[in-house]
Amino acid sequence: MALVQSFEKQGNFLFKYRGQFPVLLFILSVPFVYLTDYSLVSYEEFNLFMFISISISILGFFVRFYTIGTTPKGTSGRNTKEQVADVLNSSGMYSMVRHPLYLGNYLIWLGISLASFNIYFAVIMSLLFWIYYERIMFAEERFLERKFGEDYLNWASKLPAFLPSILNFKKSDTNFSIITVLRREYASVLAALVGFTFIEVLRTYFSTNNWSISDCTVEILVVTIVLVLILRSLKHYTSLLEEKGRS
């Protein structure tokens, strides 16, 4: 099998199971947190580091929210189980970068990895993310090239794959929809919060030999779970979160 075909095959396989990537990070985080000496971190440094890590993850969500909230049905912006695209999306976030959702994912998990206070974990996570998602992006681009031909090549040649070119921004042709974001993103918000909580539990245990979670984290986690259950129920049992022309 030619290398290009092998990459595409691997990318299509990883595409179907990309939701499992956080599980890999959870497992990988354990030894890094264990080897980190948190007694050397001052109170001020702790707060600064957590502010930076949470801010990076929030930025990642802003990228995802804007992308998903301005993506119409049947475009290349919201595939789940297989490659789907009836129309090439080239406005909004897709006017600055070819893979904005994966950029958002990276920022979210970078923030979580930095919450371990171990820069080596953040670096390893970044390398694994690139290896994992590079093949997915390759497979997606092969699909879009076959689907849209010259139109796709002309669009792709002007944009970076992962690092956004802000000066190229073009307002989305589709108005932003908070309903679409609520319908599509509650699971990813919960997953990120679980990630931060998991890192906090490990930090606390390896530092104090006690299993505990801060009251603030518990409150945020409980509120988020309640909201997720409400949104999930609305999505599956009512039409309140349905919108015409949205995925």
| CATH code for the domain in which residue 53 is found | 1.20.120
Instruction: Give me the pLDDT at residue 77, please.
Output: 47
Instruction: Give me the pLDDT at residue 231, please.
Output: 95
**Is position 140 within any domain?**
yes
Instruction: Give me the pLDDT at residue 29, please.
Output: 92
Instruction: Give me the pLDDT at residue 188, please.
Output: 92
**Is position 216 within any domain?**
no
Range of the domain at 23: 3-175
**Is position 191 within any domain?**
no
**Is position 180 within any domain?**
no
Instruction: Give me the pLDDT at residue 2, please.
Output: 61
Segments in the chain below pLDDT 70:
1-4, 7-8, 10-11, 17, 74-86, 245, 247
**Is position 217 within any domain?**
no
**Is position 147 within any domain?**
yes
pLDDT tens per residue across span 135-144: 888 888 888 8
The residues near 138 (Cβ < 8 Å, ≥ 6 apart) are 7, 8, 11
| Predicted model pTM | 0.88
**Is position 238 within any domain?**
no
Instruction: Give me the pLDDT at residue 84, please.
Output: 56
CA nearest to 83, candidates 143, 42, 129: 143
pLDDT tens per residue across span 141-167: 888 888 888 888 888 888 888 888 888
Q: How many domains does the chain have?
A: 1
Instruction: Give me the pLDDT at residue 133, please.
Output: 86
61, 181 contact by CB (below 8 A):
no
**Is position 131 within any domain?**
yes
